[in-house]
Amino acid sequence: MFLRELTGPLSGVRGVGRSLADILSRAGITTIAELLSYYPRDWEDRGFAVPLVDFRRYPAVNTVVRVLAHDWFGFGRMKTLKIYIEDESARAALVCFNRPFLEKQLVAGKYYRLWGKFFYKYGEIQSSAFETELLPEGAARPDGSPVRSGAFSPGAGGGSILPVYRLTAGLSQNVLRRIMKNALDAYAASIDDELPAPLAARDGFLPRSEAVRAIHFPKTMAELAEARRLLIYEELFYLEILVGKRALERRRPPASPAQGPSPGGDGGAALSPLQERLLERLPFALTAGQRGAVQEINADMAGQWPMARLLQGDVGAGKTLVSFLAALRAVEETPRGQAAIMAPTELLARQHAENAARLLEPLGIRIAFLTGNLNARGRARLLAALAAGDIDVVVGTHALFSRGTVYRNLRLVVVDEQHRFGVTQRQAILDKGDHPHLLMMSATPIPRTLAFTVFGDMDVSVIPDLPPGRKPVKTHLARESSEERVYDFVRKELAAGRQAYFVYPLIGDDPAGASQDDEAAVAGGVKAAAAMAGRLAKEVFPSWPVTLVHARLDEEEKRARMEAFRRGTVRVLVATSVVEVGVDVPNATCMVIEHAGRFGLAALHQLRGRVGRGDAQSYCFLVYEDGETGEGSAGALSGDAKKRLMVMLEHNDGFVIAEEDLKLRGPGQIAGTEQSGYLSLGLADPVRDAACLARAREDAFSLLASDPPLLLPEHQRVREVLARAAPFSDVSL
């Protein structure tokens, strides 16, 4: 039985009752398979003693202590428990934040095994991150002497190396270790290998049943390394098998191959007649990056199988124009083709439709705009024209793949901001045609390493340059207490005829629509867009019109306010991250992002990209809370927030920022790969494990090249995994 097939409920594990099952479900664990696949985030080797006196020499103390006394500090309901302990080398204090129940669990005079990370503070050795285990009466050290100090005895897993898991409220390490051991005892021996036997033998991998046990409770660190080696390779191998199968699926010829413009000696990369006419009308020339992307797309569309290409380019690189040129190529196919350009928001889709109408309609191209907000009569007319082939290019949102939307001859699908759509949504619109070409675009650059992994079944085009005349946006960090200096700077820009954005993490004016986290944030001093819009209009910028845009406005009102800002009748736009995409206002030169430490790198980069779209110098101010500050200036931020803002301060290149984002957040959360169904990794990291990834990719693609349907006996195991293992069976593009 494969591990993924252990889909029984957690009630099948000894020690898991209804209450514990509810707690585990909050951590995403609802089945036996999910429990056994809940890999540790770290491992602690407790095989040797580290007394309290040596807390500075080692990462953690590992000793046996006696509880001396309890104390409380603080006032009223905010009192915190402090427990004094000692071993044979020193005394220390355990600071029990939000754990008053430890007063009864750690009894004065009793002996406990203790593991923890200690530091020196307020004149004493302290720890607030520790684990304890009560020693039985009469316990003795291995040498037979009474227990006073020494190493932990073997832990819950029977060894001295203990797993450390990510926890959720109500769940402790000891409880999770205990039930994990029970699950392994009951099910691990029945887990089958998932790799083809020749590959497993070639690399000397552990059997999977042993690897699953060892990843949780290894006997030695060497055994842990072997378990990780198998499981990481296996994850990457099957990821690349899926990538390879998608590539094979895409390259199946359509039922009725279209006859596009005849390719010449250039392999079809030359401009088509309509493309040449469009470029003649433009008041500027394409950049080198745009020209290269168009040539690659043209060659693909003239090829023997449908195009599958990812177009990457920084904010403002001109990807939309490239997609219009691709649409012209699709329309020129014989019989006349259609192109669908899909955007994640109505605001962005409307902007694309307006630009398409301005650029393409003079060439005789029939443009339509389709969203779910059309009235019934207008929608019926548009859908009838689309089905009859009377529309060449349709721009819209999710309505483009709704059940009632039918195309006469859909030849090209363009997906803008591709990370905002899931796999099934992309497949739904592709199914509207007979193997149409696919062009996915991303202004959130995907790190090259991750693109190679996740989009390995696609060709990738990159537009590395920006249109001539664009100046890099100057970025500054600013404390919240220095906001008046920021306001003064923005006033000067407004007085010079420019415009400005102010972005906040919360809306804040509608309790009915606010989450508990939002309410807590507002209560904690986080500024909200609605309240700040009023303050900016009345107190800060009374001489200039101010408007507010956020996700709770209806689409028509949102569009009207955005249009007023685009025309310049509104000079200051206050918003949430709803303006991250779809806003092109060349006259806007200031982007002020309040509580910037609460935004991710991708969002910060996209928001900064809203300015710097004209000829004037533009500026971005990343404002952070004084509560996050300490000594110094730029060094005041702490943790990941500091790292993100320093990346923004030091870099303008979106691809560099994406690589840094990958280092900070890990591969599973970058570029929408989690929600899009592309990447499902437990241990593997495509950056850290790049060498293993290359080997797994070579093995997977070689296997598929020799046996695409996986019918050979030696490939039976791979075929069974794909057929029987649930996480793989529903992944498609």
254 or 592, higher pLDDT: 592
> By C-alpha distance, which of 80, 174, 98 is closest to 134?
174
Question: What is the CATH code of the structural domain delimited by 47-154?
Answer: 2.40.50.140
Backbone angles phi and psi of 73, in degrees to 5: -135, 160
Residue matched to tokens 């840094």:
660
Give percent of the chain above pLDDT 90. 51
Given a cut of 60, whether residue 169 has pLDDT beyond it is yes
Whole-number mean pLDDT of the chain?
84
Instruction: Summarize the confidence of residues 257-284 as an average pLDDT.
Output: 76
Distances (CA, A) of 56 to 47, 84, 94, 112, 151: 18, 19, 16, 21, 17
Distance between CA atoms of residues 406 and 31, nearest Å: 41
> By C-alpha distance, which of 443, 475, 474, 493 is closest to 624?
475
Given a cut of 80, whether residue 522 has pLDDT beyond it is no
132 DSSP β-pair partners: 114
Give percent of the chain above pLDDT 70. 83
Yes or no: say if 627 and 531 are a contact pair by the CB < 8 Å rule. Answer: no
Taking only the tens place, the pLDDT of each residue in 417-451 is 766 666 677 778 888 999 899 999 887 666 666 66
> Please, which pLDDT band fits residue 249 given cuts at 50, 70 and 90?
confident
Instruction: Summarize the confidence of residues 78-94 as an average pLDDT.
Output: 93
What letter would DSSP give residue 447? P
Distance between CA atoms of residues 536 and 543, nearest Å: 10
CATH 1.10.10.10 fits 474-651, yes or no: no
Distance between CA atoms of residues 514 and 508, nearest Å: 7
The residue ranges of every structural domain in the chain are 47-154, 273-463, 474-651
- The model's pTM: 0.64
The region, left, alpha or beta by phi > 0 then psi within -120 to 50, assigned to residue 122 is: left
Same fold, 47-154 and 273-463: no
Distance between CA atoms of residues 389 and 406, nearest Å: 10
Given a cut of 80, whether residue 523 has pLDDT beyond it is no
CATH architecture of residue range(s) 273-463: 3-Layer(aba) Sandwich (3.40)
Given a cut of 50, whether residue 583 has pLDDT beyond it is yes
Q: Which amino acid is at 122?
A: Y
Given a cut of 80, whether residue 229 has pLDDT beyond it is yes
